[in-house]
Structure 1
Amino acid sequence: MSTVAESSQHTGQRPIDRYFAGYSSDHQNHGNQLIHVICVPAIAWSVIALLWCIPSPGTWFRPGLWAGLAMFAAWMFYYRASRKLGLGMLVMFVLSSWLTYWLYAVLGPTGLLYLGIGVFVVAWIGQFIGHSKLFEGKRPSFFTDLRYLLIGPVWVLAKLYRKLGWSY
């Protein structure tokens, strides 16, 4: 089985376009797309919040170190796939960091942890409802390739770009 990057060499498409084509084929139902537009960013934020709560004693950036490292790694993937989408995801990561920093200060580590878990669970329930026979009736894309877990957030951002008339 060839990877998305290998198959893009034969078609002339960028890997991000191939990822979007594969992801979009599993997200044709309008209701499922709407659920994804809400739940995918919620899941992405909740992962950031959960990583934010992992202690990192003895470092200069105690809360948020692991979240920062994960966001940086994801950002490199996005920027490499599309500079314009990568910059958009950088903005999203900065906004998510500010929100998480503020919530950490207000709620404390335990409150942020519980909020992150709650959002994560509710948003994943939404995702699976979107893929149920009620809406899409197809398995989530990440069951075929785990990289689609990274594609979901940038796919939602690309939808916004297209709506605004921006290229990526």
Structure 2
Amino acid sequence: MRKVDQLLDEYGESHQTKFNKLIHYICVPAIVFSVVGLLACIPLGFLARMLPASLAPYAHLGSVLIVLSLLFYLRLSVPLAIGMFFYSALVLWGNYQIVAAGLPLWLVSVAIFVVAWIFQFIGHNHEGKKPSFLKDVQFLMVGPAWILGFVFRKWGIPY
């Protein structure tokens, strides 16, 4: 069995009820969005100076996390990594739009993070199983791939 299949199956073991799955389909992307948003509040000036002016707003720790995450996903599955690349681009764009609207990105990100985690724990309490990341922290990275894997299977995209 491929490592990606093993990880997604193991993650899925603690996400069996429709209620918990629905919560995760909404909250995992929200948590990723919020974590990138929080890290986007930490600019990397040296990186901004190396990039074209149009990319300078993305010179922050959130972008670094995305690059490192994409390397993790690339090791698991090229199609999943490509899908995560496009999702990551949407996350960066969404966080940029929050800043462009004049809203405090850190505050919006903290609010999303807290609310999403509350719902995640409600889902796990309903299911009666602990979150997977308590067993292995790498499952924090597997969660988004698990959701994307669901989308890929629904659309008939092999990964």
- Give TM-score, length-normalised by structure 1: 0.86
- CA displacement at 1:166 relative to structure 2: 1.2
Whether contact under 8 Å (2:58, 2:92) holds in the other structure is no
Matched to 1:156, the amino acid is I
- 1:62-81 matches, within 5 Å, as 64-81=59-76
Structure 1 residues without counterparts, runs of 5 or longer: 1-12
Q: Could you tell me the percent identity over the aligned residues?
A: 40
Q: What's 1:150 paired with?
A: 141
Q: Does 1:52 align with 2:40?
A: yes
Q: 1:122 aligns with which of 115, 118, 123?
A: 115
**TM superposition outliers: structure 1 runs of 4+ over 4 Å:** none
Q: What's 2:51 paired with?
A: none
Cα separation, 2, equivalents of 1:123 and 1:148? 17
Whether contact under 8 Å (1:54, 1:63) holds in the other structure is no
Structure 2 residues without counterparts, runs of 5 or longer: 49-55
Higher relative contact order (CA 8 A, sep 6+): 2
- Aligned-residue CA RMSD (Å): 1.3
Matched to 1:95, the amino acid is L
Q: Output one character per residue of 1:52-105: Cα deviation in whole Å (capped at 9) or x when no partner.
A: 011334542365421111000001100110000000000000111111112112
Which secondary structure does the structure 1 equivalent of 2:141 belong to? helix
- Give TM-score, length-normalised by structure 2: 0.91
Distance 1:64 1:42, change over 3 A: farther
Whether contact under 8 Å (1:35, 1:127) holds in the other structure is yes
Q: 1:107 aligns with which of 102, 107, 116?
A: 102
Q: What's 2:79 paired with?
A: 84
